[in-house]
Every structure is written in structure tokens, then in C-alpha cells.
Amino acid sequence: MTQIRRVAVIDIGKTNAKVALVDLDTLSEIALRKMPNRPLAHGPYPHHDVEALWVFILDSLRELGREHRIDAISVTTHGATAVLLDADGGLAIPVLDYEHDGPDAVRRDYDAVRPPFDETGSPPLPLGLNLGAQLYWQARTFPEAFSRVASILMYPQYWAWRLCGVTAGEVTSLGCHTDLWSPARTDYSTLVDHLGWRGLFPPIRPAQDRLGPIHPAVAERTGLDPETPVFCGIHDSNASLLPHLLSRAAPFSVVSTGTWVVCMAVGTQSVPLDPARDTLINVNAFGDPVPSARFMGGREFELLAQGASSGFTDADVRAVVSQRIALLPAVQQGSGPFPAHEPRWTGRAPTLEERAVAISFYLALMTATCLDLVGAQGETIVEGAFAGNEPYVAMLAAATGRTVYAQAGRSTGTSIGAALLAAGSEIRKTDGHEVSPVVPDEALRDYADAWRAAIAAWRV
């Protein structure tokens, strides 16, 4: 059997879809294909364009395979998404976009049957962010279509099934604020049995399981070796966490930054989690519970950065700090540690350059709040889009009082983690670098303290 060195990772994010070729020797992306992931608005509700994504995946595998050897395929996707298949393997009903508000229409009835937070580690969330709420709404609103459902696949395993024809369940996606999983019992929640859904889920397999070789039709379409193995797949935030679970000693925390900023604490002090502030229990690739907290930081950055300039100087940073130009939460409401707060600025009106700095500080302080909520200890590793934002990383270090590493050499940790599912062995410690702030730490800490005091006064 050929040693697996280069893994094609299918990475379906909420904003963008990618196919990245990862070299396991260097733990780096050596080639990349990317497309926007835009839900379709027509039909019964907004839904994911899985056929467009499938064409993109196949085309990308073909193009990458012409330029490089591909030894294996792995999959990672965003959470809060499942695919409902009929007996013939077609969609029984379109793949719901979790930002649709349809599930809110049956919220009262759903809340009467959803398990408590103590059982699932899953907080009550709006829209379709609880997958159980999605399924409940679909079953109630589209009973005829739902009656045709023969199997429910979590999103990473749906793409693995399309590639190799083997169905599987997997705990990192099942354990991601779905209401469907009990981390303590390592089994489906009481909701699944109460609603009679257990038989619709396929057998659970570890994320690193080799499901099988690619389907002959996929081999023909892509030109890949027909024996190319497909691995079970993993939820994206847990993909970011996996390299550190394999290589670091606890305690530490990983901050995965994309559309969502997800803060995951490993080996932490035990603190009570507050579901009203978007804390939750994730389940890692080995089935272990991971206290987590999150907010929609990437989406907030998109909204805020439209009126900001990235061409700031050290003088702009000093001005923001000394004059307490700050943004208070929350820009994206309904989730995160301040779900009901409306945003507001303090201090004088910023210039476009100062605005960019203040936005970075805001995102860092929201992240620090999330880390506090889950009792984080030890070093913090920042993965993904925010890792290259030096004001963000510097403020996060000042606000937490702990060492922060910005993961170097790649735009996201999800593809590396997903590729490691195929590695089959322990890896070395991943590389990172400390970012030196451009103003003294004490000044940044004072800014963080003032931000927290403003929120505390506002909440009274």
C-alpha cells in the first residue's frame, strides 16, 4: 500500500468551499482551489447547492490530481447541517441553510421536547443552529417529504458517502450543539429516541476511519487512482483542534477563526457553563468532551471592515489605546457571549485606520471573554483568518495574560487537521510565533479593563 503523504481535503465552510492538497511531511497546503458557498434562495427554504459543490469538488480533484499525486481524500465541513436521503440515495428534502429562521416557528413546541443542557452540552440557539430544531421543523412542516427519509448523514459524512458510497456517523459533528448527542453517555440523546430517529442514523465510525476507496465513477471523472481511500471526516472546528491534541500537553486552548470564532479549552479548570452565553460542549475526534464558547466573529469582521482601512500605523494603534476608541458588543446578535446587546462605540469617532484597529481589539476582547467563560488556562493558539491580525493577537495576549501563538504558514487549520485523519501516527508540535505588541502590554491591559468595565456598567 502506498504511504499516504498528500491528502486532498474537501473543506466546506459556511462562506467558502475549498479543496486543499496537504503535504503531511510539511503540514502545509501545497495547492488550493476555492469557490464561494452561496445558498440557493428558491424552493421551500434557503438551502445549500450541493450539486454545484459536487461539481466543484470533482473538478478540483481532477485539476489537483493532474499536477500532484493524491494519496487520500478527507473531508471537513461547518456544523449544524445534515443531509436527509431517501431510499434511492437522493435528497428527500433540500439541505437547509442553518441561518434560515424557519425552525423558530415551532420553537415553543420544540423546546418542550429538547433535552436539557446538562444532558447534551448544547445551548438553545436561534434559527437552525440546533440541528435537532431543524429536523423537528422539517418533520412538522414537510411531513410527506420527511416520511421518505431513509438516512440522515452529517455534512462531512455526506460528502464522504458521495465519494465512496459508504455511509457513516461521526461524533464531532453529532456533538456540535445539535441536541442529538449526549457527551457523557457517548450515545444519542433522549430526543433522538423520543422522536424515533435513531434508526435513520448510520453506524458511528471514528473520524480517522478509512471508509473505502473512491467510487469507480469518481475515479473515472477525476482521473484519480481507483484505490484512493476516503476517510470518514470531521467537523471543522475539531479539525483545527486535532493537531494540538496530538502534539501539545494540556492545558491549552485553540481559537479557530472563520465565519465563527470557536474557543476550545483542553485540560482546563472546571467552571459551570452558561448556555445563555453560547457556551457548549464540543466533542473532539477521540470522543472526549471539550468546553467551548463562540461568537460569529468572521461575519462581524465582514460587516465592520467595509468601513475600515487596513493601512493603519503604530500611531493609529497608540491613538486607539490612549483615547479609548472602542466598540462594545454585539455586532451579530442572537449568539455569542452577549447575544442580546446592541453594539455601540465609545470615545471619539475613529478614522478609517483607527477603526480597523478598534475592530481587531473588539474581536480579541470578545475572544478573551469566550475563553474566560470556559475556564481556559495555558497557552492559546489562534488558527485561521485572524492569526495574521497582529493587533488582534496582541490584544488577546494582553486581555488573557497568557501566551498567544498565531499559527504560522497557512490560512486555516481545518485542512491540516482533516488531513491528519489519514496520517495514522503522532505528529510533531505545530509551529507558531508570538506577536510583539506595538504598545506596552500594560496599556493594552488597561484598554481591556476599560472595555470590560464599560460592559459591566452597561449590563447593570
Report the pLDDT value the prediction gives residue 412, as an integer from 0 to 100.
62
Q: Among 36, 148, 146, 49, which residue's Cα sits nearest to residue 95?
A: 49
Q: Among 161, 16, 133, 22, which residue's Cα sits nearest to residue 77?
A: 16
Least confident range from 102-111, 128-137, 263-272: namely: 263-272
Q: Which residue has the higher pLDDT, 145 or 434?
A: 145
Please say if the pLDDT value at position 1 is more than 60: no
Please say if the pLDDT value at position 410 is more than 80: no
Report the pLDDT value the prediction gives residue 429, as an integer from 0 to 100.
54
Neighbours of 349 (CB within 10 A): 8
Q: Among 297, 384, 289, which residue's Cα sits nearest to residue 335?
A: 297
Helices (H) and strands (E) in the chain, counts: 16, 20
| Cα 360 versus chain centre, distance | 20
Q: For residues 241 and 284, what is the distance between their CA atoms, to the nearest angstrom?
A: 8
What is the value of pTM for the model shown?
0.88
Per residue in 25-50, pLDDT (tens digit) is 999 999 999 999 999 999 999 999 99
Cell numbers 468551499 correspond to what residue? Answer: 17
Per residue in 348-399, pLDDT (tens digit) is 999 999 999 999 999 999 999 999 999 999 999 998 889 999 999 999 999 9
Cell triple for 420:
491528519
Domains belonging to the chain, first-starting first, are 6-232 (3.30.420.40), 247-459 (3.30.420.40)
Least confident range from 136-140, 424-428, 442-446: namely: 424-428
AA letter at 316: D
| Mean pLDDT over the full length of the chain | 93
| Rg of the chain (C-alpha set) | 22
Q: Let me know: does 112 contact 143? Beta carbons within 8 Å.
A: no
Name, in order, each residue with C-beta under 8 angstroms of 379's C-beta and a sequence gap of 6 or more: 252, 253, 402, 403, 404, 405
Q: What is the average per-residue pLDDT within 422-427?
A: 70
Per residue in 311-356, pLDDT (tens digit) is 899 999 999 999 999 999 989 888 899 998 999 999 999 999 999 9
| DSSP string for residues in 380-410 | EEEEEGGGG-HHHHHHHHHHHTS-EEEEPS-
Please say if the pLDDT value at position 119 is more than 70: yes
Name, in order, each residue with C-beta under 8 angstroms of 4's C-beta and a sequence gap of 6 or more: 24, 71, 72, 229, 422, 423, 424
Per residue in 425-437, pLDDT (tens digit) is 545 555 566 666 6
pLDDT band at 460 (very low <50, low <70, confident <90, very high): very low
Per residue in 53-84, pLDDT (tens digit) is 999 999 999 999 999 999 999 999 999 999 99
Q: For residues 380 and 398, what is the distance between their CA atoms, to the nearest angstrom?
A: 12
**Longest alpha-carbon distance in the chain:** 65
Please say if the pLDDT value at position 145 is more than 80: yes
